[in-house]
Homo-oligomer: A and B are copies of this chain.
């Protein structure tokens, strides 16, 4: 079938050409329109709402009638039958989100895996007919300090292909970059070597550009993971990949396209060229790790959830995906290093987090707890040289998903809520007019409602407890921002279902912590420090998290929020071979605890669902 029908997306002005029968979501992907599709196209989340302005499309499906208001269609359910014009509401587009690139730095001795040298060669003559490659190798042996040459014996093929021209255009005086015993880049002197560290989150990408000669971080930037349009969580992406055909490849192309854009942006910020980047370190959860590498993910979606690859891994950037197929544009011979995974749901990002915090240190004796809170929450407990880790499905509620008025931490998202008497005080991201509520805002709201007695332990709303608590058909709701106050047609509310979503999420985390404590034979009070990392972990209010019982009731001062520790860990591994070794030691040392089959998990989870007594914590 030929791609004969056009689909125009307004007001964006993007056009796709598709075959008859393609969905509007497929057309949007082709046109580069980042439509929300949290459920991965199953038609259940209702986030890909669009309005068909003109043209013939398939009639509404059963599933659409349940979730879509009059006049709207779900892009994932609507098939194109003729040339179509579509209006895309702002709310259906993946919003730019607060970049999570800040994190507590730890000092690292600069010792990168790549090294650069300037060399000068004698030009060939009739009396000296050595091949270019031989000439360079022999010059290196003569000119380099003993430690530096370290047995350079191989050429990266892409670097070799550049060598003859680079030599002749630079009067036989060039800069080379080596990794292990391979020459990976040849260039004019004064350029190279830059490094790239990226934390590939399920939702967000955070990237750092580092000068590998000085160790200086030149630029940092964040962006959405473009895979988000294929489903919000890892299970939705695994399901999409498992549909076969080129789907897994699409996911790989999406994330690598995002990496490429981010890399260009970083380089543009500081006037450098992406071709100067000779080494990259990527971290991500096991699913992100596999998808970016092009490894199958089917086995990650089925018990017993084993990864294809756990060890740390090095490959050429061009092997990820050739540039012609949408690969990332680094130096042609650039390598990519991936930190090790621990298990199917505890990935290299958690290893990086352990590396970047004191928790991964081998000499830890006092109990330390580390959490990387996100759609999936990884938890580690270090004590007496042991390192126990588990993963719990905390769900996307903290990212604002599955929450009635939820949204990500984009401008206008309510991120802080306080109830002062009958007044509701709130704060939004960038102080923009309120648009919705992000995870930390919902968490605050639940904590505050519980504090003022408006919620029972099971999350039910107490009618009459607060003037803003209303009765609804679905267990009541709390009026956070009336429509009148925000000059919009609709109130922003927190429903009983929203409260329950937070309960499910926090219970999973708390049960994970309790299982690890049990495995280590510890009581919660013995924990000396709790390190909270990750996107949500950075912005949550620890008091609120304590109030809802997400964490064990410990004094507030034992908690520390460290920002994007995974990104910082990736940067450390970029700058230091010793840090890579330490990451491997960490991955080897971890005792992985599988929660899904743990005998005490369900019992602990059920217990953790309840909201604690308001007096149990002081806020």
A-to-B contact residues, CB < 8 Å: 124-126, 129-134, 155, 157, 160-161, 163-165, 168, 293-296, 298-299, 303-311, 315, 319, 322, 324-325, 341, 343-344, 592, 594, 597
Contact = CB atoms under 8 A, between A and B. Distances in A.
A186 to B, nearest CB: 11
Q: Which of A164, A324, A343, A592 has the most CB of B within 10 A?
A: A164
A221 B528 CA distance: 74
B306 A161 contact: no
A-B pairs with the 3 shortest C-beta distances?
Answer: A131-B310, A131-B307, A124-B306
A75 to B, nearest CB: 30
A129 B305 contact: yes
Contacts of A303: 126
A124 B311 contact: no
Given A131-B306, A324-B325, 16 more contacts: A124-B304, A125-B304, A126-B303, A126-B597, A129-B344, A129-B592, A131-B310, A132-B307, A132-B308, A133-B309, A134-B311, A157-B294, A157-B315, A160-B308, A164-B299, A165-B296
A303 B319 CA distance: 36
Contact of A306 (B132, B294, B324): B132
A343 to B, nearest CB: 6
A132 B299 contact: yes
A360 to B, nearest CB: 20
B594 A309 contact: no
Nearest to A165: B296
Nearest to A130: B306
Contacts of A295: 160-161, 164
23 contacts: A124-B306, A129-B304, A129-B306, A129-B343, A129-B344, A129-B594, A130-B306, A131-B311, A132-B299, A132-B307, A133-B309, A134-B310, A157-B315, A157-B319, A160-B295, A160-B308, A160-B309, A161-B294, A161-B295, A164-B295, A165-B296, A322-B324, A324-B325
A601 to B, nearest CB: 13
B164 A296 contact: yes
Contacts of A298: 164-165
Contacts of A125: 304
Contacts of A134: 310-311
A160 B314 CA distance: 12
A155 B294 CA distance: 14
B124 A309 contact: no
A324 B298 CA distance: 25
Given A594-B126, A597-B126, A133 B164 contact: no
A310 B130 contact: yes
Contacts of A306: 124, 129-132
Contacts of A161: 293-296
Nearest to A127: B304
A168 B306 CA distance: 12
Given A306-B124, A325-B324, A341 B164 contact: no
A272 to B, nearest CB: 26
Contacts of A309: 131-133, 155, 160
B168 A299 contact: yes
A361 B234 CA distance: 61
A594 B304 CA distance: 67
Contacts of A155: 309
A132 to B, nearest CB: 5
A304 B126 CA distance: 5
A247 to B, nearest CB: 15
Contacts of A131: 306-311, 341
A179 to B, nearest CB: 14
Contacts of A315: 157
A215 to B, nearest CB: 29
A131 B311 CA distance: 9
A262 to B, nearest CB: 23
A131 B164 CA distance: 43
A388 to B, nearest CB: 15
A311 B160 CA distance: 12
Nearest to A306: B124
A315 B319 CA distance: 13
A265 to B, nearest CB: 27
Nearest to A322: B322
A132 B308 CA distance: 5
A168 B155 CA distance: 36
Contacts of A157: 293-294, 315, 319
Contacts of A163: 308
B344 A311 contact: no
Contacts of A160: 295, 308-309
A345 B592 CA distance: 61
A580 to B, nearest CB: 15
Contacts of A304: 124-126, 129
